[in-house]
Amino acid sequence: MALTSQEILDALDEEQKEVVLTTRGPVCVIAGAGTGKTRAITHRIAYAASIGVMDPNKVLALTFTARAAGEMRTRLRSLGVPNVAARTIHSAALKQLLFFWPQVFGGKTPELITSKSSLLSASITRAGLQASIPINSRDLLRDIAAEIEWAKVSQIAPEDYIVETEKRSQKPRINSAQVAQVYAAYESVKKQEHAMDFEDVLLLTTAMIEQEREVRERVHDQYRFFTIDEYQDISPLQQRLINAWLGSRQELCVVGDPAQTIYSFAGASPIFLNSFTQRFPDAHVVRLTSGYRSTPEITFMANAVLRSASMGHELVAHNDHGSKPTVSGYSDESSEIEGVVGDIAALLGEGAQAQEIAILARTNNQLNAIERSIRSAGVPYQVRNNERFFDRMDVREFLKGVRTASVIPTEGVYWLDELRTLAQPFLSGSSIDGIAGLLHLARELDADDAFTPKTLRSYIREIEDRVQQNNPPTMPVITLATLHAAKGLEWERVFLIGASEGLLPLESGNTGDDTALINEERRLFYVGITRAKSDLRMSYRGNPSRFLREAGLLPSNT
């Protein structure tokens, strides 16, 4: 049931209302961490639809992760506007590309590869570099894939890669000449295999709209109002696509936070957010500064981090006071891990909920080390990464079996018992993985009177709805995540480990002025701090991070 325009406004603070009441673009919203930006932009769409200013069927709301897009759809549906297209930029581009492919390109659509690793090994061999680049090194392949992605979203061809890399403040960890060779070979192998990657999807969709008048007119007629979240993370290629979608119109609302720009290494640039008013001199700018996530003590520290480098706009905390953030120093990594795991075990023993706790670190290697210790301690956990939950191989194989069993359930066996039996081959170790999460969801559903009939088929229907919304089950476990993977998430209690010089900020190996790199690391530290609602505990081994001193948590001579 649709809400009235007044009901939509009643749920907002004054800053959020200003966003909502500015129903015509261009609009630029600078939204600090935990200030309710998703609430503001979804309510803006709902309000504009309710007063007849915006046709929800012609709105395209864009964000960067399927999870965030799913959250947008859920909120818009609850506000009475279920017909809004809320998607990631890549999925919106892919939908258009597949629709127009027969008309524009003809022939069979290339296969979309979701991971470059499948082609990189062949590319390394084709480039004749298998002796110097081990094709079985996952870390190395991931680094090469990241470099190719940076180049493609920055619209840099293989032959220009070396020259353009020399201009970067953050140099690749791999020899740039070798990356250029692999990049060229990768494009060749991909063409041979009749495949395309996600960057190709953006490029082909952009070119299609730019060059084909009929396509451009149909796309412009379909989508007339645009909302773009996390605008500080836009790459040059994505901005080019946005320009193609928008055309000469100005019905654009962008939302971002320059203080949370942490993906420069992947080609993202805050320049498009920071220069928005230059491109649109008549733009209405709104700042959201009321912080609703963290306690005043955590917010004060976050402000101090930004203030130390004169970046970003400070937040005003609206929550009750809590404990001050703490800092613990250790002599080495093993003692730090022991201390953190001990503190978490004590919290769990006192009745703290595991799902309210997260351990955040700068690198995957740090997580690997603490994961071993947590497993030994018998503490239930999950590792959070950028992989979509329902795309995991174990999850897909398990649900395939459940779907088959739902057609011919075992007679006389309760559905939950049969589900447990189907799950047994997938359960291993003490880590609470995806299958255990699906079992936990099943137990919750079984206890819910609204879940009826209580059958495997009903369970599969619930799962399919969650796949559509990218709404994975919440597991009663602590979360391990890198600072990058934690962006957009929040927990009551956060342990930020490895706040040491050389780790945070991470040693770059560069010589000369590294101000840009340090500022990116500082923003990453800020993102980590602002994931915590009420309890923030930081730790370091050896020399403490300069960011701890800047935040006033350590004496200046420490």
Q: What is the pLDDT of residue 468?
A: 66
Q: What is the pLDDT of residue 430?
A: 44
Which residue intervals of 127-212 are DSSP H helices?
138-153, 161-165, 176-192, 198-211
Domains and CATH numbers, the chain: 3-91+200-289 (3.40.50.300), 110-192 (1.10.10), 324-384+476-549 (3.40.50.300), 388-467 (no CATH)
Mean pLDDT across the stretch 377-389? 77
Which tens digit of pLDDT belongs to each residue from 445-454? 998 887 888 9
Query: Phi and psi dihedrals of 194, rounded to 5?
Result: 50, 55
pLDDT over threshold 60, residue 558: no
Which tens digit of pLDDT belongs to each residue from 167-192? 887 777 788 999 999 999 999 999 99
Please tell me which residue, 516 or 526, carries the higher pLDDT value. 526
Give the number of C-alpha atoms closer than 13 A to the C-alpha of residue 246, restricted to the C-beta side.
21
pLDDT over threshold 70, residue 512: no
511 class by beta-carbon count within 10 Å (0-12 exposed, 13-18 middle, 19+ buried): exposed
Which tens digit of pLDDT belongs to each residue from 413-439? 999 999 999 998 887 654 446 788 889
Which tens digit of pLDDT belongs to each residue from 391-410? 777 888 899 999 999 988 88
Enter the DSSP assignment of 108: P
pLDDT over threshold 80, residue 250: yes
DSSP state letters, 14-83: HHHHHHHH--SS-EEEEE-TTS-HHHHHHHHHHHHHHTTSS-GGGEEEEESSHHHHHHHHHHHHHTT-TT
Q: What is the pLDDT of residue 428?
A: 63
Q: Which tokens in the block code for residue 35?
A: 């200030």
Please tell me which residue, 476 or 97, carries the higher pLDDT value. 97
Which tens digit of pLDDT belongs to each residue from 123-158? 999 989 888 888 777 778 888 999 999 999 999 999
262 class by beta-carbon count within 10 Å (0-12 exposed, 13-18 middle, 19+ buried): buried
Mean pLDDT across the stretch 113-129? 88
Cβ-Cβ contacts under 8 Å for 276 (sequence gap 6 or more): 26, 28, 231, 254, 283, 285
Which tens digit of pLDDT belongs to each residue from 323-375? 999 999 999 999 999 999 999 999 999 999 999 999 999 998 899 889 889 98
Please tell me which residue, 68 or 333, carries the higher pLDDT value. 333
